[in-house]
Structure 1
């Protein structure tokens, strides 16, 4: 598993940046994606994938401990769809 710290190291080394600058760049990227999707805008990174906002309808569920029926409120969710290039790399095409 690659952690954020590992990603910072890779970017710092590859781009000849300090770890601080690499972490700032990653944080800016992630914050920008989060802010855009939270506003309802999709973010498309060609060759990587798309982030978008989805929704879950309210539904009935069960408390696993008691078996009691409970109402689960509607909520927003985040969708990620991998791009073709990313899928091809994963599938080694």
Structure 2
């Protein structure tokens, strides 16, 4: 499902216009990005949790030359599926 299909489905399910559904989806994305950037977790019980995680500095290896190199610490995003999302993926 792409963005336009999602907007259409949300608009039909909620009884609002597609432009309103698009605005809500865009606002949700903005709020999610801001929260994760600040280090806050966004929890939608039963659906998912999105949080920022820290990756420690580590030693890597160039696969072409075999030379070792230091990889700096960084941040990433982690999405954890909730129970309802897991059940839907399992076909339940």
Alignment partner, residue 17 of structure 1: 16
Tell me how far 1:49 sits from its aligned partner. 1.1
Distance between the aligned counterparts of 1:8 and 1:63, measured in 2? 43
Structure 2 gap segments, 5+ residues each: none
TM-score (norm 2): 0.85
Distance between the aligned counterparts of 1:27 and 1:42, measured in 2? 19
The alignment partner of 2:52 has SS state of strand
How many correspondences in the alignment? 92
TM-score (norm 1): 0.84
The alignment partner of 1:20 has SS state of helix
Tell me how far 1:70 sits from its aligned partner. 2.3
Alignment partner, residue 54 of structure 1: 53
Tell me how far 1:65 sits from its aligned partner. 4.0
Alignment partner, residue 37 of structure 2: 38
Query: What is the root-mean-square deviation of aligned Cα atoms in Å?
Result: 1.6
Structure 1 gap segments, 5+ residues each: none
